[in-house]
Chains A and B, each alone.
Chain A
Amino acid sequence: MPTSDENAVHVRISADRLQAIVEVEPGTAREFVTDEVILAIALSQSIQQSSELNRLIARAVKAYDPDSTEPFEAVIAEGTPPEMGRHGEFNLEPDLQQIYEQIQARESEEGEPEEPENDQTEPQDHHERTMLMIVKPGQQLGTITPPTDGVDGVDVSGKTIASKPGKPPIEEFDPESIEHRDDHTVVARIGGQLLIQQGKIRINPTLEIKGTVDFSTGNIHFPGNIEIREGVRDCFVVESGESITVVGLVEAATLKAGKDIVLKRGMAARDKGLAEAGRDLNAHYLDNVSGNAGRNLLIEKELTNSSITVGEKTIAPSATIVGGELICAGACEVGQIGTEAGAHTVIALGRIDSVESLIKEALELIPTLNERAAKATEQLEQVKSSSSVLSAKQAEIVTELQYKAMEAQAKIKPLKRALTLANTVITERAEPRLVVQSMLCQGAEIRACGRRATVTTTIKGPVCIALTDSGEFQLTDLNTNSVLAMDQFATIDDDPTAFDRRTLDAELKIAA
Chain B
Amino acid sequence: MRILLVDDSKTMRSIQKSVLAQIGHTEIEEACDGQDALSKVGAFQPELMLVDWNMPNMDGITFVKHIRQTDKTTPIIMVTTESEKTRVIEAIKAGVNNYVVKPFTPDALSQRINETLNKKAA
A395-B103, A396-B9, A396-B102 as given contacts; A403 in contact with B81, CB under 8 Å:
no
Chosen A-B contacts, 14 in total, with CB atoms closer than 8 Å, are A390-B81, A392-B81, A392-B102, A396-B9, A396-B102, A397-B103, A399-B103, A402-B104, A402-B106, A403-B18, A403-B106, A406-B105, A406-B106, A406-B107
Considering only CB atoms, which chain A residue lies closest to B22 in the complex?
A410
A203 and B28 alpha carbons, distance in the complex (Å): 49
Q: Chain A: interface secondary structure?
A: helix
What is the number of contacts between chain A and chain B, taking CB atoms within 8 Å?
39
B11 at the interface (CB under 8 A from A): yes
Query: Within residues 387 to 433 of chain A, which ones have a CB less than 8 A from any CB in chain B?
Result: 390-392, 395-400, 402-403, 406-407
A407 and B106 alpha carbons, distance in the complex (Å): 9
A395 contacts across to B, CB distance below 8 A: 81, 101-103
B116 contacts across to A, CB distance below 8 A: none
A247 and B11 alpha carbons, distance in the complex (Å): 63
Which one of B18, B102, B107 lies within 8 Å of A399 (CB-CB)?
B102
Instruction: Flag A421-457 by CB within 8 Å of B: 1 or 0 each.
Output: 0000000000000000000000000000000000000
- Interface size bracket, A side: 10 to 19
| Most chain B CB within a 10 A radius of its CB, from A395, A396, A399 | A399
B12 at the interface (CB under 8 A from A): yes
A397 contacts across to B, CB distance below 8 A: 103
Q: 7 tightest A-B contacts by CB? A: A398-B103, A392-B81, A395-B102, A399-B103, A395-B81, A395-B103, A403-B15
A396 and B106: CB pair below 8 A? no
A135 and B107 alpha carbons, distance in the complex (Å): 52
A392 and B103: CB pair below 8 A? no
A403 contacts across to B, CB distance below 8 A: 15, 18, 105-106
B105 contacts across to A, CB distance below 8 A: 402-403, 406
Q: Nearest Cβ distance between residue B37 and chain A, in whole angstroms?
A: 19
B54 at the interface (CB under 8 A from A): yes
B interface size (C-beta, 8 A): 14
A392 and B54: CB pair below 8 A? yes
Besides the known contacts A402-B106, A406-B107, 7 further A-B residue pairs in the complex with CB atoms under 8 A apart: A390-B81, A391-B81, A396-B11, A400-B11, A402-B105, A403-B105, A406-B105
The interface of chain B, by Cβ under 8 A from chain A, is: 9, 11-12, 15, 18, 54, 81, 101-107
Considering only CB atoms, which chain B residue lies closest to A380 in the complex?
B103
A125 and B85 alpha carbons, distance in the complex (Å): 73
Query: Within residues 174 to 208 of chain A, which ones have a CB less than 8 A from any CB in chain B?
Result: none
A396 and B107 alpha carbons, distance in the complex (Å): 16
Q: Nearest Cβ distance between residue B114 and chain A, in whole angstroms?
A: 17
Q: Nearest Cβ distance between residue A114 and chain B, in whole angstroms?
A: 55
B12 contacts across to A, CB distance below 8 A: 396, 399-400
B15 contacts across to A, CB distance below 8 A: 399-400, 403
B18 contacts across to A, CB distance below 8 A: 403, 407
A296 and B8 alpha carbons, distance in the complex (Å): 60
A400 contacts across to B, CB distance below 8 A: 11-12, 15
A399 and B109 alpha carbons, distance in the complex (Å): 11
A390 contacts across to B, CB distance below 8 A: 81, 103
A392 and B87 alpha carbons, distance in the complex (Å): 14
B106 contacts across to A, CB distance below 8 A: 402-403, 406
B107 contacts across to A, CB distance below 8 A: 406
A397 and B11 alpha carbons, distance in the complex (Å): 9
Q: Nearest Cβ distance between residue B109 and chain A, in whole angstroms?
A: 9
A395 and B52 alpha carbons, distance in the complex (Å): 13
A398 and B103 alpha carbons, distance in the complex (Å): 6
A396 and B101 alpha carbons, distance in the complex (Å): 10
A195 and B16 alpha carbons, distance in the complex (Å): 59
A402 contacts across to B, CB distance below 8 A: 103-106
A390 and B83 alpha carbons, distance in the complex (Å): 11
A399 and B13 alpha carbons, distance in the complex (Å): 11
Considering only CB atoms, which chain B residue lies closest to A398 in the complex?
B103
Considering only CB atoms, which chain A residue lies closest to B102 in the complex?
A395
A391 and B105 alpha carbons, distance in the complex (Å): 17
A390 and B101 alpha carbons, distance in the complex (Å): 12
Q: Nearest Cβ distance between residue B105 and chain A, in whole angstroms?
A: 5
B54 and A399: CB pair below 8 A? no
Q: Nearest Cβ distance between residue B102 and chain A, in whole angstroms?
A: 4
Q: Nearest Cβ distance between residue A408 and chain B, in whole angstroms?
A: 12
Considering only CB atoms, which chain B residue lies closest to A394 in the complex?
B103
B101 contacts across to A, CB distance below 8 A: 395
| Most chain B CB within a 10 A radius of its CB, from A391, A402, A403 | A403
A175 and B102 alpha carbons, distance in the complex (Å): 69
A396 and B54 alpha carbons, distance in the complex (Å): 12
A242 and B116 alpha carbons, distance in the complex (Å): 54
Q: Nearest Cβ distance between residue B7 and chain A, in whole angstroms?
A: 9
A396 contacts across to B, CB distance below 8 A: 9, 11-12, 81, 102-103
Query: Within residues 57 to 81 of chain A, which ones have a CB less than 8 A from any CB in chain B?
Result: none
A286 and B106 alpha carbons, distance in the complex (Å): 57
Q: Nearest Cβ distance between residue B55 and chain A, in whole angstroms?
A: 11
| Most chain A CB within a 10 A radius of its CB, from B12, B102, B104, B106 | B102
A179 and B15 alpha carbons, distance in the complex (Å): 54
Q: Nearest Cβ distance between residue A297 and chain B, in whole angstroms?
A: 45
B54 contacts across to A, CB distance below 8 A: 392
Considering only CB atoms, which chain B residue lies closest to A390 in the complex?
B103
Q: Nearest Cβ distance between residue A67 and chain B, in whole angstroms?
A: 91
Considering only CB atoms, which chain A residue lies closest to B103 in the complex?
A398
A402 and B107 alpha carbons, distance in the complex (Å): 10
A406 contacts across to B, CB distance below 8 A: 105-107
A336 and B112 alpha carbons, distance in the complex (Å): 70
